[in-house]
Chain A
Amino acid sequence: DGGITQSPKYLFRKEGQNVTLSCEQNLNHDAMYWYRQDPGQGLRLIYYSQIVNDFQKGDIAEGYSVSREKKESFPLTVTSAQKNPTAFYLCASSIDRERGYTFGSGTRLTVV
């Protein structure tokens, strides 16, 4: 079955540490996105990539970094510079810029 896989489902991080969230899709979609979800604030765009080896900052990119070396993969690194990283992170993909998104099941990151 085609879809988007996010791993791990739950992640705990100590303050000051970087952590990388995985996102893999086998839908052959060109575009991929990372969103952050906080209670009462909906989904906010962190980074997006429309093609391999290219990505753009979203609305809340500070403290995050991404790479897009392969079409199937779009990992997100939450760096120690992110002041409030505890949140639910969602990865999505789209076949092109005119279609809706397919979302993964999310990673819940908790800083301890």
Chain B
Amino acid sequence: GENVEQHPSTLSVQEGDSAVIKCTYSDSASNYFPWYKQELGKGPQLIIDIRSNVGEKKDQRIAVTLNKTAKHFSLHITETQPEDSAVYFCAARAASKLTFGTGTRLQVTL
């Protein structure tokens, strides 16, 4: 089955700096790659996604890039703010279900 690895597990940045989270996947049939943000005690919320026929997608301060050849995709957050502090999960879809990475705890400090 699909295996998704996510790095780093924790990330601390200063407010205004950029943050990058990276994921790799194993199944070349995976064709959909969403990113979720989870705040403490809540369920994950979809923040951006990308399909395998697209190399990059941007939505205001967040962007995702996909390299199908290398089987890796990344989340980029620019001009980070304290409210960006949360746990972020990447995921990959092969067949009919998503496989999630182990999460990255992002801390944005003042």
- List residues of A whose CB falls within 8 A of some B CB: 4, 6, 31, 33, 35, 40-43, 45, 48, 50, 58-59, 90, 92, 97-98, 100-106
Chain A nearest CB: distance from B99 CB in Å?
Answer: 8
- List residues of B whose CB falls within 8 A of some A CB: 1, 6, 9, 32, 34, 36, 41-46, 49, 89, 93, 95-103
Select one of A41, A97, A100, A104 contacting B34, CB under 8 A.
Answer: A100
Given the complex, which residues of A lie within 8 Å of B42, measured CB to CB? Answer: 105-106
The reply to whether A103 and B44 form a contact with Cβ atoms under 8 Å apart is yes
Q: How far is the CA of A45 from the CA of B102 in the complex (A)?
A: 13
Q: How far is the CA of A41 from the CA of B97 in the complex (A)?
A: 18
The reply to whether B97 and A90 form a contact with Cβ atoms under 8 Å apart is no
Most B CB contacts (10 A, CB to CB) among A6, A43, A58 go to A43
Given the complex, which residues of A lie within 8 Å of B6, measured CB to CB? Answer: 42
Given contacts A41-B102, A43-B89, is CB(A105)–CB(B97) below 8 Å? no
The reply to whether B96 and A42 form a contact with Cβ atoms under 8 Å apart is no
Select one of B9, B49, B89 contacting A40, CB under 8 A.
Answer: B9
The reply to whether B89 and A101 form a contact with Cβ atoms under 8 Å apart is no
Select one of A40, A58, A104 contacting B97, CB under 8 A.
Answer: A58
Dominant SS among interface residues on chain B: strand
Select one of A50, A58, A97, A105 contacting B43, CB under 8 A.
Answer: A105
A44: nearest chain-B partner, CB-CB = B100
CB-based closest 8 A-B pairs: A103-B43, A42-B102, A97-B96, A43-B100, A100-B34, A42-B100, A100-B46, A105-B43
Given the complex, which residues of B lie within 8 Å of A45, measured CB to CB? Answer: 97, 99
The reply to whether A98 and B44 form a contact with Cβ atoms under 8 Å apart is no
Most B CB contacts (10 A, CB to CB) among A6, A45, A58, A101 go to A101
Given the complex, which residues of A lie within 8 Å of B43, measured CB to CB? Answer: 4, 6, 90, 92, 103-106
Q: Told that A48-B97, A100-B46, A103-B45 touch, could you supply 11 new A-B pairs with CB distance under 8 A?
A: A42-B100, A42-B101, A42-B102, A50-B96, A90-B44, A92-B43, A100-B98, A103-B36, A103-B43, A105-B41, A105-B43
